[in-house]
Structures are given as C-alpha cells and as structure tokens.
Structure 1
Amino acid sequence: MYAVSIIPSFATIRTKRAHPIRAMRAVVQRVASASVQVEGRTVSEIGPGLVVLVGLHESDSESDAEFICRKVLNMRLFPNESTGRGWDQNVMQKKYEVLLVSQFTLYGFLKGNKPDFHVAMPPQKAKPFYASLVDRFKQSYNPDTIKDGVFGAMMKVSLVNDGPVTMQLDSQSPKNTNDGENS
C-alpha cells in the first residue's frame, strides 16, 4: 500500500508563490471622474469611465496587450438605465472615457520589507510597449476617449470611485488562456 500526500511541502509552496503571474496585469476601477497630475500640472482628465492601472511583466507580448484591451473595453461594469439591469453595459456602450496609467509597482514583490520589481518589464522595453498598448486602445475605441498619464513620471492620480467597483485582470490567468472563449 502506498501513502500519497495531498498536502504540498513547504518547499513546493515557496516555489509556487515566488512569482506566479507571468502576464500583463490591469487593475480597473469604475470612476465618476479622474485626473493625472505631473509636477503640479494636469496632464489628463476624464469624466465617467474607467481608470486602468497597467503593470507590464517582463515576458508580455502583443497577445497579452490584445487580451487586456479587449477585456477592459468589453467588461460590463455599468448599469443600463433603460432596462434597470446592473452590470449590463461596457464603457463603449456608455460612450465613457478610459484613463490608462502605467504602474510598474503592480509587479512589486516584497523581499523582507523591501519591494523588488525585477519581474516588471524594464523601462527601455516597457515605454514603447506601453505606447503601443495606448494606441491599441485608441484604435479599438474612439481615440478622443482614451487618455493616459506620463510613462515613468511621478504622478498624482486623483479619482472619484463609482461604486466602488474594482476588478483585476491578468492576461495569462488559467481562465484567460482559451482564445476567444469567455470574452
């Protein structure tokens, strides 16, 4: 008779938790309004819509960008006033705006008490990749409704949450790997 343990060892847990997500990450907040300031100057602002904090992983590709763009623009996070149904319309159906903010700290891990960002995409690669993500959003929706912060700058992001409603997306999570399914 063989004994099979279904409890993973500490070493296994430690290995699996090291850096489990290898994908683009987006934290999406439904807002009544939002703005970004750099050095005391407002560089972007929106009315009702979505603020999307974007974390780029070192292994991200165009397919990750396509997934995040498609999901963010199609997430049904808004009520439909004509039918009274909540969670029924996306940002495009409402003709609302989107504010994209690059945030490498979404890929910060604590080593002791100090943050470590080594799995975030390096800035020299991340800047053009993020710019192409912003362009992808503009091509997929009305370009005038897509705003963004300043890549690499220290920004003050102000927002008025609506709900609050906050969702996190990872482009490579297990349920997101089926191309086209559950879109």
Structure 2
Amino acid sequence: MLVVGEYSVDAIELGAGGYGAVYKGKETATGKPVAVKVLSHGRMRVAAIQHEVKLMQNARHKHVIELYVHIQQEDKSFLVMELAEHGELFSRVIDKGNLDEPEAKVYFAQIMGALDFLHGRGIAHRDLKLENVLLDAQDNCKICDFGLAHQYDFDASGKMIKTTLRDICGSKSYAAPEVLAGRGYDGFATDVWSCGIVRAAAPRPR
C-alpha cells in the first residue's frame, strides 16, 4: 500500500489509460474511500496535468467527479478524487444488455445538466463517452476524465471568447465528423454530438 500525503493508495486498479491509472484509496484519518489517479511525468507533461487539475477545480457540479486534492511529486502526480462506487456507465450498459428507456432518460438528463454547466464555465470536455460517465453509490451520473478538455477564455467584460478548435482528439466512435476530418470545430457542439452517441447507445432496442 502506497501512502501519499493524507491518503493511502491500494493496489486495486479501477481503470487505466494511456497516461496512467486510477486506483482505489482512502483518507488515512477517516477511512473515507477515494479514487486516486496516478499520472507519470514521463508519459504526461506536468503542464498538461496542471491544466486538467485547474479545469476540474473550475468544474464543481453534482454530476461531475469532484477533485479533492492534487499531490505532485518529483516523477508522479496524484489526483485524489471522489469515488464513484458503481463504476462506469459503459459497464452498466454491458451488464444489463442496454438500459430501459426510463433509466436512460434519467442518466441522459443528468449528463446534459452537467454539460450545460461545463459549457457555461467555458469548458468543452471533448471526450464524452460511456466509459467517461461514472455512477456513484446512488446511481447518479458523474462525468470524469478532463485530460482532453479545452478551456475557452473570457474577456474583461466576462464574455466568452469562442475560438475555432483544430486538434483531433477524443474517441473515434463518439467524435463528431468535423473533428475526425481535421476541420475546425466548436468544442461545445462536438460535446453535444458525443452526448447523442451516448444517448443512442444507452436505451434498450425496441
């Protein structure tokens, strides 16, 4: 067991990606369960990690995974986050053979509510998919993984400055056509496209 600051990290892996992995952990003093994302500085630039941390700090919403603390060491960064005990929405869909329509409607409304909040803060997620929506102990949706998210700037009056994005990112099965084609795109519009794919994948076929 690894001890990082006021938290202990178990060997139980909850998920893994190209830049690191997420493990189950707990707050040492209280025993409160947490999720700990471990990112290697050799695989992901420190500036990119700090960008993700800043976005998550600006994205506090009941349907977005909460970041508790960021602990940076010489060769690794640890993002201590809220634990979504029921795992990925993707796993729920696979286990149930898709979802019943009423259940899918509740999940979709929660995802869209969180997305509306993020867009209001100038944040385009850019990697929305079933695997990046988690379920807490009460089966509430929580959007996670802001590694590819973009933060739009605001001018002195508070008006958002919408620039055209051009970098190709996200998951091919969920990405909008203009992203895959390498054309300029609106990050908010492509998030909505990805949400549509999530919605189409969730309900049980009639």
Q: What's the TM-score once normalised by structure 1's chain length?
A: 0.28
Richer in strand (by share): 1
Higher radius of gyration, 1 or 2? 1
Structure of higher RCO (CA pairs closer than 8 Å, 6+ residues apart): 1
Q: Please give the TM-score of this superposition, normalised by the length of structure 2.
A: 0.26
